Amino acid sequence: MPGAGGGVAYAHVVGQQSGNDNLIVAASTATTTRIAQGQFSGFDEDDVRWVAALGADYGVIAVSPDSPYDDLTELMEALRAEPASLSIVGASAVGGWDHLKVLLVAQAAGLENLSALRYVSFSSGGQAIVELLGGRAEVFSGDVSEALPQIEAGNLKVLGILAEERADGLLAEVPTAAEQGYDVVGANWRGFYMPAGTSDEAYTFWVEAFRELEASEAYATVRQQSGLSPFWRGGEEMTAFVYDEVETIRELSEQINLTE
């Protein structure tokens, strides 16, 4: 059910599917972002039941190989001195997830005027990286999956990964934001919600079904093939996670005047 970045489906579920025990709907960080920014026709995070998240594409902050910045602290110090001095590029729109990831790190670093940071949106991560390599931008904000080919080609220097722990492979030597003093996890998660009014029996069934799926070897293979990392939240934990994420994004969006 396409439309409004998931908003049409969300409105349909809230307005017409209450109590439907046999309906699950895919969601992601984009869902919570749009809810936080008031883009879902006035519907909020408490209008559905959040079931589980079972995989994520973690965020990275990167620069060109010849950049003078070697870690997140050096980058944040430059932005603190002159917030608009560096062009930051990503694939999401202004206020979207690539933009918000940089803001989360900047906020953790104590930068106050977040709206002064200069973010430029492109239609894909590839185009954003072309701008970086062409010298028309200084910082790239994206996800691990889109950055890996460019890292392998030697075209990106990753300053930090916004994950709970270090990645494997090419990113094994890249410290997390937390290791550098910034308590930030930028997970573009994949998950599901159900309509409000569904029975506790059905809700519990789906939480446990996804829990079993997430722990299986078959799903681990599919997750890896999809460029995702392990990321599990289920039931009450998932609900609390979504509420916290919406509140964080709502506060950030208010600071850059994007909340409707």
Cα–Cα dist 229/94, whole Å = 25
DSSP 123: S
211 three-state secondary structure: helix
C-alpha atoms less than 13 angstroms from C-alpha of 189 in its C-beta half-sphere? 26
Provide the 8-state DSSP code for 177.
Answer: T
Q: Give the pLDDT score at 260.
A: 54
pLDDT of amino acid 5: 86
pLDDT at 259 over 70: no
Task: Write b or e for each residue in 86-124: b if 16 or more Cβ atoms lie within 10 A of its Cβ, otherwise e.
Answer: bebbbbbbebbbbbbbbbbbbbbbebeebeebebebbee
pTM: 0.91
Cα(137)–Cα(141) distance, rounded to whole angstroms? 11
Q: How far is CA 227 from CA 93, 147, 189, 215, in A?
A: 22, 11, 12, 17
3-class DSSP state for residue 3? coil
For residues 145-166, average pLDDT: 93
Contact status, residue 182 vs residue 61, Cβ threshold 8 Å: no
How do beta strands 87-90 and 118-121 pair?
Answer: parallel
Q: Which of 143, 246, 135 is nearest to 186 (CA)?
A: 143
pLDDT (0 to 100) of residue 58: 96
Instruction: Supply the pLDDT for residue 173.
Output: 92
Q: Which two three-digit tokens encode residue 225?
A: 């093939």
**Does position 110 have pLDDT exceeding 60, yes or no?**
yes
